[in-house]
């Protein structure tokens, strides 16, 4: 029996995207190493049998993704992987895939307290100073300025991520910061005393890190994330709704 189902026609991929994917494949596979110069536009045009304009557009795509960068004499070279760039791409992909508020909370609740505990071992004086400065900035914001509160709250998590000195954990934690931003953005207007509640939690977490108190860091980060769930409830957020 013949099926009546009809598939959508395949989209033709632009040539410049094919170029970008071909070069990306060699970078990901390690055939092109960080710092290694790419062939010139003219050479690539010959290799791919395409115009220089098409090659240039493909290279622009790679620059935007952070896989290549301009070096000496504006020559393109393979960029060293950056945790923040990789994390940004990961968080965008998660949001685009339809991740829900419930899924984000579950991930944060499982991951962030462990990272706060680890920060008590990893954080140096510079990190602690940065956390204190972040908290001081939050304390100086107008409680009614929710955008300023949001920026400072997320910056706190970014500082913690950068203190871990582990690119795997940094990418995971930094990808979470974008999700924290999106989560807080949805509830902060409705949550009572949001600035003060965030300030208390982040002050206590910083104090625990300073004192190298793993248990206190874990406990206060757990409370901090749990407060986000209460914010969802107060704001009437559907936990099964997509965050994007």
For 166-191, how does the pLDDT look when each residue is reduced to its tens digit (9 = 90+)? Answer: 888 888 888 888 788 888 887 888 77
Q: 15-78 in CATH: which number?
A: 1.10.10.10
8: confidence class by pLDDT, cuts 50, 70, 90: low
For 85-135, how does the pLDDT look when each residue is reduced to its tens digit (9 = 90+)? Answer: 777 777 877 877 888 989 989 999 999 999 999 999 999 999 999 999 999
Mean pLDDT of the chain: 87
Q: How far apart are CA 230 and CA 118, in angstroms?
A: 25
235: confidence class by pLDDT, cuts 50, 70, 90: confident
Can you give the residue ranges of every domain in the chain?
Answer: 15-78, 84-235
Q: 84-235 in CATH: which number?
A: 1.20.120.530
CB atoms < 10 A from the CB of 81, how many?
Answer: 13
């Amino acid at each position: 029996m013949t099926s009546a189902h009809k598939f959508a026609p395949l989209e033709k991929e632009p040539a410049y995207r094919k170029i970008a994917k071909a070069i990306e494949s060699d970078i990901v596979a390690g055939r092109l190493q960080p710092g290694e110069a790419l062939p010139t536009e003219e050479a690539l045009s010959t290799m791919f049998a395409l115009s220089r304009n098409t090659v240039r557009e493909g290279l622009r795509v790679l620059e935007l993704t952070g896989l290549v960068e301009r070096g000496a004499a504006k020559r393109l070279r393979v960029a060293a992987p950056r945790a923040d760039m990789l994390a940004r791409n990961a968080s965008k992909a998660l949001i685009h895939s339809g991740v829900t508020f419930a899924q984000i909370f579950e991930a944060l609740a499982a991951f962030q307290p462990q990272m706060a505990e680890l920060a008590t071992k990893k954080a140096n004086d510079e990190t602690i100073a940065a956390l204190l400065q972040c908290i001081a900035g939050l304390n100086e914001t107008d409680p009614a300025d929710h955008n300023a509160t949001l920026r400072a709250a997320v910056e706190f998590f970014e500082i913690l991520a950068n203190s871990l000195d582990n690119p795997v954990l940094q990418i995971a934690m930094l990808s979470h910061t974008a999700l924290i931003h999106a989560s807080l953005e949805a509830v902060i207007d409705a949550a009572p005393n949001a600035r003060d509640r965030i300030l208390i939690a982040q002050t206590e977490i910083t104090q625990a890190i300073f004192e190298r108190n793993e248990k206190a860091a874990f406990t206060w980060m757990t409370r901090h994330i749990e407060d986000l769930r209460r914010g969802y409830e107060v704001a009437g957020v559907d936990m099964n709704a997509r965050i994007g």
